[in-house]
Amino acid sequence: MAKRLKIDSGDVFAFPAGEKFAAGQVLISNISLYIVIFEPLFAIEDIANINPNSTNILLAGWTDDALIYHGDWIIMGNKPVVQPFDFPVFKMNHNGILWLVDVNGKPIRHASRGEAESHEFQWSRSSKGFQDAFVNHHLGVRKPTHTRLFVA
């Protein structure tokens, strides 16, 4: 069995998107990964010089490490993580009571009725789902299943 790669917060990764490459960064490395994928397409040699703090973010959310583990997404280096936006707040049901929780699942407070209706339960999307959303965006296609991945 292959040895599991160590994936750290700050890791910058790339994957092919046609003749160019997509790039992203791991913001949180836990059991799952909270990642961002940047909007532009890059030449592979330019990815090492990306400034994550000044590159537009297209997609963000929790995902798995499957495409990194299988070598489809390649870790290109590590850059300091500067939180680029407010992480989402989710809701969680604990013993029949709805709570608001931070991006790591830490309880913040009981959810009001309005918050319970407006916040989502924590979700994740496969790394393949992120890759498909990126490629489809650059082809001018936005599928409903990809909507929640987009930052703006």
pLDDT tens by residue, 104-141: 889 999 999 999 999 989 889 999 999 999 999 998 88
- Note the pLDDT of residue 79: 93
pLDDT at 152: 65
Is 39 in contact with 27 (CB distance < 8 Å)? no
Amino acid at 148: R
pLDDT at residue 115 in the model: 92
Quote the pLDDT of residue 1: 47
What pLDDT is stored for residue 150 in this prediction?
87
Nearest to 24 by CA among 78, 88, 87: 78
List, in sequence order, every residue forming a beta bridge with 37; answer none if it has no partner: 24, 59
- Residues of the chain predicted below pLDDT 50: 1
CB 132 within 8 A of CB 139: no
Sequence-distant (6+) residues with CB within 8 A of 53 are: 82, 84
- pLDDT attached to residue 148: 81
Structure confidence at residue 146 (pLDDT) = 80
